[in-house]
Amino acid sequence: MNPANMAMADWRDWLAPLGVTLVLVALGAAAASLPSPWAGWAPATCLPGACFCEGIRDQLVRQPANAISSLFFLPPGLVILRRRRPDSMTAVGYGLALILIGLGSAWYHASLTFPAQTADVLGMYLVGTFAVMAAARRAFNLTAGHAMVGYLATNAVLFVLLVEAPAFRRLAFAGLIGAALLLEWRSPRPAGRRLLIAAFGCLGLGLVAWGLDLTRLTCSTGSWIQGHAIWHGLTAASAALFYRYATAPEIVP
């Protein structure tokens, strides 16, 4: 296949995932003001006053901008699942993790409940541990089996920590990202560090938007433009870029 045809195939791969996401966005926006069913659920730990800038509404979708922007994770996840290249098992795991982040985060901001918070952060852990194990496999010559055991064991421990000590969830995620960056920077892939820099650059910009939003240094509670929504978009881009970096051919022609 020549480069032009490859580019066309890549472009076409995005059509169905984007279509599915747009349908979900439209449905979410249309149903957002329906009555709230969340009164009897265990509340998220951010309540009552630390659930980011966006105002909390008494309706089905309590934070519409943050909930709907969470769906930005779906297109890259669906594209990865659809293509399943170059490693089918890796693609399925990573694609499903991105979809879990998107749906879990949308549920979290729609409901602000503890079960939804757990689903949201678990998806983040699955992606973060993928980044760590992808780097560790190369740095320490791990077999695929050892990497899988490490991946499952690490996430099992993180899940218990998430349920029993949710206050540490952000610190744990930051530790995963820091470990992945350190391992990859010490042992970059032959394709070079450009994709890695782009991935972590998007993540860094997202963290700035996240921090400004959480601290309310820039905040308009009723706006559809929210710093946390920008964080969703930038981290979705970061996750897609890192996947391209992590699955790039080891030998570049």
Choose between 69 and 11: higher pLDDT.
69
Determine if the peptide bond prior to 17 is cis (ω within 30°): no
Q: Is the pLDDT of residue 4 over 80?
A: no
pLDDT tens-digit series, residues 11-49: 788 889 999 999 999 999 999 999 999 999 999 999 988
At residue 43, the 3 state secondary structure works out as strand
Q: And the tokens for 97?
A: 């993790």
Task: Look at domain 42-246 and name its CATH class.
Answer: mainly alpha
Instruction: State in Å, rounded, how far the first CA of the chain is from the last one.
Output: 16
Place of tokens 């206050």: 167
Closest CA to 245 of 187, 206, 205: 187
Burial grade of 148 (CB within 10 A; 0-12, 13-18, 19 or more)? middle
CB-based contacts of 232, cutoff 8 Å, min separation 6:
66, 69, 70, 72, 73, 105
Report yes or no: 134 and 239 within 8 Å, Cβ to Cβ.
no
At residue 36, the 3 state secondary structure works out as coil
pLDDT tens-digit series, residues 204-221: 999 999 999 999 999 999
